[in-house]
Amino acid sequence: HPFMFFLWVKLPFHYLSICLFFPSLLDCKLARGGPPATIVAIDEESKNGTIIVDNMLIKGTAGGPNPTIELSLKDNTDYWVMLDPVKQMLFLNSTGRVLDRDPPMNIHSIVVKVQCVNKKVGTVIYHEVRIVVRDRNDNSPTFKHESYYATVNELTPVGTTIFTGFSGDNGATDIDDGPNGQIEYVIQYNPDDPTSNDTFEIPLTLTGTVVLRKRLNYEDKTRYYVIVQANDRAQNLNERRTSTTTLTIDVLDGDDLGPMFLPCVLVPNTRDCRPLTYQAAIPELRTPEELNPIIVTPPIQAIDQDRDIQPPSDRPGILYSILVGTPEDYPQYFHMHPRTAELSLLQPVNRDFYQKFDLVIKAEQDNGHPLPAFASLHIEILDENNQSPYFTMPSYQGYILESAPVGATISDNLNLTTPLRIVVLDKDVEDTKDPEVHLFLNDYTSVFTVTPSGITRYLTLLQPVDREEQQYYTFSITAFDGVQESSPVTVNIKVIDANDNTPTFPAISYNVYVYTDMSPGDSVIQLTAVDADEGPNGEISYQILVGDQGDFVINKTTGLITIAPGVELTVGRTYALTVQAADNAPPAERRDSICTVYIEVLPPNNQSPPRFPQLMYSLEVSEAMRIGAVLLNLQATDREHDPITYAIENGDPQRVFNLSETTGILTLGKALDRESTDRYILIVTASDGRPDGVKDLLDEVEKSEEKTRDTLPEEETKAEGRNTYSLIISIYHVNTSVCTHTHIPIHTYTHVYIYMYILYMCLYI
């Protein structure tokens, strides 16, 4: 043992071996086996004070009264480690900073040395501590771009890789280490584009390459918004971090559809066109020079259904041809231009041998990928002396119910029992045969259409009609046989009312006053509802549903509400009448609406005279006040809401004052002159309308003027006629001296004071 010494002592007959042991020489040594360096691990972003080593296991004591060793840290770069020498513990020192393994700090490990000084013998030993900083999954993947874009042709086969834009550093990156920094890509469901995750997939999640999963169709969908999620591969699934981006994929039009003939009327719920037949008619024995080019109805035209092939120079042209036909020798008589589809006659046709030609024409692409479309061409051979088509009636009158569905047939009578028959004939064709003419409407082609074949044609509805918007439609129809046109005939269509409108009151409620002196049969209110329908559908019947309490009745036809027979009204009583207005349509179709009439019973009309808000007014007016100045605003109120008229009846012969009849505003009409007149006594009336009552009242006021100044009546008196109030205005002036300093002259001011007394007086007339 390095710290053990043997001493040999010679004794008689034998030797004595003595072992000497020095414990102090073991201090500063490690009390454990294994490698000399202490290796520990700590998570990045650990809190300040986190224990790194809970015991260095160094022999000796660094604390107490007799320490044998002294411990300290060496090579403590950036002071990341703290030492407790007594407990031999190492702690993380991250005050004001974060221990981050990821860029930009990139602290993967920390190496420090613990210096141990043996205080007994003075020796020094260094113990190395290696601290490995473990990665935490504290960073989410980050895409280099906010969004990504790709294009793919609709003809691309399923399984084709259509996007590799996430490869290299162009996709998502994660600055964490190990699995925490490895990226996987998956396509997520997009609620705004539900088919995107079914159409594309990422089979190799580590590469992020996007592969076409389902066949594309430009005509169905031209753009996809694919949500791509990038996640790291942390071992704990709950700790994995993700981020997403949007990959916009535009579908390019490919050459997968051939031409289609126009006009194309689609079969419902498909993209397929209904079979189309072009029509032409030529007179017999006419030369090509006379007829070419042959008029075809409608003009022969086809377009490529792939309308967005890029670049435009790659779009194919269309070739036209006659595929087959009857009779079989049609090529001797007709030719079709391959580019323009212009139809030409090659030689005259004798109607004795050929009455018609039925051909099948073809339109195909000129790029070696034909994708042909087919249509029929019917050519009628007319008699040499052909005549124009004609209608059997000079005009037609039709009827249609405004609630009729699309496709309904126009009728020839108001009862809508039989359809309107439009018969068109052609003298070149037997009357028993279909003349095969085309009928054209000169107007309202979006509202009405005519059946395409037959001697008798019918008008049908293309879109709903509304009698309240338009009741009559007038247009003309022309027949065309391919060569000649008929004279137009006029068609008048009347839209018959359907009960599609509800009676409507101008207001949802009404407020009415009635008086106790009203008699049974007196009018309360006239209600009028409006219904835009006509006939019984627009005739309105009225009834009170609830609230009348037997005191009111309503005229079923006129809507006039009157007081019921034998009823005596009571002051203060109120009613809320629910009134219904219903049309006179059949019960199953009847419509109605309601309104509320609020009725309040008041005293007999004009029992309540106009009132002023206060009994006396006082007003001081300067003699120098300008003309037009407002002196007072007299505002009376009438309980029955009758209009109030204001007037100065007496006391102002010179018209010094002006009183507005309607507003009660008293203004100065002429300049005031104290020296000529220093007092005015005005009699002012507020009347609710009876002219006779004013004069009588003034006479009474003049007689009782002095009494009125002393006492005012405490309550109103009843009058059978209109009621008035009297207002006495007394105006006088006061000279007021203003005291000032002796060296300033004393001025005299003249003031006019106005006192107003309201007389609540009513007279029996």
Distance CA 352, CA 355 (A): 7
DSSP category for residue 661 = T
Which pLDDT value is given to residue 314?
82
Share of the chain above pLDDT 90, in %: 54
> Residue 288 pLDDT > 70, yes or no?
yes
Identity of the amino acid at 86: V
pLDDT tens digits, one per residue of 560-619: 999 999 998 999 899 999 999 999 999 999 999 999 999 999 987 666 677 777 666 667
Domain with CATH 2.60.40.3430 in the chain: 25-134
Better-scored residue on pLDDT, 732 or 765 = 732
> Residue 731 pLDDT > 60, yes or no?
no
Average pLDDT on 523-532 reads 94
Distance CA 314, CA 762 (A): 103
The verdict on whether omega for the bond into residue 288 sits within 30 degrees of 0, i.e. cis, is: no
Which pLDDT value is given to residue 636?
83
> Residue 25 pLDDT > 80, yes or no?
no
Could you tell me how far CA 125 lies from the centroid of its own chain? 81
On whether the CB atoms of residues 110 and 80 are closer than 8 A, the answer is yes
Residue 120 vs residues 24, 56, 67, 114, 373: alpha-carbon distances, Å: 6, 20, 9, 18, 110
Average pLDDT on 627-631 reads 90
Which pLDDT value is given to residue 463?
94
> Residue 30 pLDDT > 80, yes or no?
yes
Which own/partner contact pairs does 163-167 have at CB distance under 8 Å and 24+ positions apart? Answer: 163/209, 163/210, 163/247, 163/249, 164/207, 164/208, 164/209, 164/210, 165/247, 166/207, 166/208, 166/209, 166/228, 166/230, 167/207, 167/208, 167/209
- CATH class, range 25-134: mainly beta
Distance CA 559, CA 579 (A): 9
Which pLDDT value is given to residue 683?
78
Give the E-state strand segments of 435-565 in sequence order: 438-441, 448-450, 456-457, 459-461, 472-480, 489-496, 509-515, 523-526, 540-546, 552-554, 560-563
On whether the CB atoms of residues 671 and 713 are closer than 8 A, the answer is no
Identity of the amino acid at 592: D
pLDDT tens digits, one per residue of 296-325: 999 999 998 888 888 888 889 999 999 999
Which pLDDT value is given to residue 24?
64
Which pLDDT value is given to residue 209?
94
> Residue 738 pLDDT > 90, yes or no?
no
CATH superfamily of 259-382: Cadherins (2.60.40.60)
Q: For residue 460, what pLDDT band results from cuts at 50, 70 and 90?
A: very high
Q: For residue 747, what pLDDT band results from cuts at 50, 70 and 90?
A: very low
Which pLDDT value is given to residue 713?
38
Vertex 381, ends 376 and 382: CA angle to 5°?
A: 135
Nearest to 172, CA basis, from 243, 98, 85, 80 = 243
Please, which residues bridge with residue 83 across strands?
Answer: 90
pLDDT tens digits, one per residue of 394-445: 999 999 998 899 999 999 999 999 999 999 998 777 778 888 889 999 999 9
Q: Mean pLDDT for the chain?
A: 84
On whether the CB atoms of residues 78 and 44 are closer than 8 A, the answer is no
Average pLDDT on 340-345 reads 95
Residue 264 vs residues 371, 461, 757: alpha-carbon distances, Å: 17, 20, 92
Identity of the amino acid at 60: G
Alpha-helical runs (H) found in 232-318: 288-291
Distance CA 514, CA 567 (A): 12
Distance CA 741, CA 463 (A): 98
Which pLDDT value is given to residue 560?
96
Would you state the structure tokens that stand for residue 759, as one six-digit string?
Answer: 């007389």
Domain with CATH 2.60.40.60 in the chain: 142-252, 259-382, 390-496, 509-602, 616-759
DSSP category for residue 405 = P
On whether the CB atoms of residues 510 and 596 are closer than 8 A, the answer is yes
Tell me phi and psi for residue 115, to 5 degrees: -90, 130
Average pLDDT on 518-546 reads 93
Vertex 18, ends 12 and 24: CA angle to 5°?
A: 160
pLDDT tens digits, one per residue of 184-218: 999 999 999 999 999 999 999 999 999 999 999 99
> Residue 53 pLDDT > 60, yes or no?
yes
Q: For residue 9, what pLDDT band results from cuts at 50, 70 and 90?
A: low
Could you tell me how far CA 304 lies from the centroid of its own chain? 38
CATH topology of domain 142-252: Immunoglobulin-like (2.60.40)
Q: Which range, of 226-240, 298-312, 632-646, 744-758, averages the lowest pLDDT? A: 744-758
Which pLDDT value is given to residue 330?
94
Identity of the amino acid at 202: I
Average pLDDT on 330-358 reads 93
Nearest to 301, CA basis, from 353, 378, 361 = 361
On whether the CB atoms of residues 38 and 53 are closer than 8 A, the answer is yes
Which pLDDT value is given to residue 660?
92
> Residue 56 pLDDT > 80, yes or no?
yes
Could you tell me how far CA 172 lies from the centroid of its own chain? 38
Which pLDDT value is given to residue 759?
40
Alpha-helical runs (H) found in 96-208: 196-199
Residue entry with tokens 């030719």: 335
On whether the CB atoms of residues 481 and 437 are closer than 8 A, the answer is yes
CATH topology of domain 509-602: Immunoglobulin-like (2.60.40)
Burial class (CB in 10 A: 0-12, 13-18, 19+), 113: middle
Q: For residue 44, what pLDDT band results from cuts at 50, 70 and 90?
A: confident
CATH topology of domain 390-496: Immunoglobulin-like (2.60.40)
> Residue 647 pLDDT > 60, yes or no?
yes
- Relative to beta strand 395-401, strand 489-496 is parallel
DSSP category for residue 589 = G
Distance CA 458, CA 277 (A): 20
Distance CA 604, CA 640 (A): 9
Alpha-helical runs (H) found in 642-738: 691-703, 705-710
Would you state the structure tokens that stand for residue 691, as one six-digit string?
Answer: 């002219």
Task: With H, G, I as helix, E, B as strand and everything else as coil, classify residue 400.
Answer: strand
Residue 222 vs residues 216, 240, 247, 251, 301: alpha-carbon distances, Å: 9, 35, 14, 5, 27
Distance CA 685, CA 688 (A): 10
Would you state the structure tokens that stand for residue 606, as one six-digit string?
Answer: 């004009």
Q: For residue 678, what pLDDT band results from cuts at 50, 70 and 90?
A: confident
Q: In what order do the strands lie in the sheet with 657-659?
A: 630-633, 665-668, 657-659
Distance CA 498, CA 536 (A): 10
Which pLDDT value is given to residue 10?
57
Average pLDDT on 692-703 reads 34
CATH topology of domain 616-759: Immunoglobulin-like (2.60.40)
> Please, how many CA atoms are within 13 Å of residue 634, restricted to the half-sphere of its CB?
36
Share of the chain above pLDDT 70, in %: 85
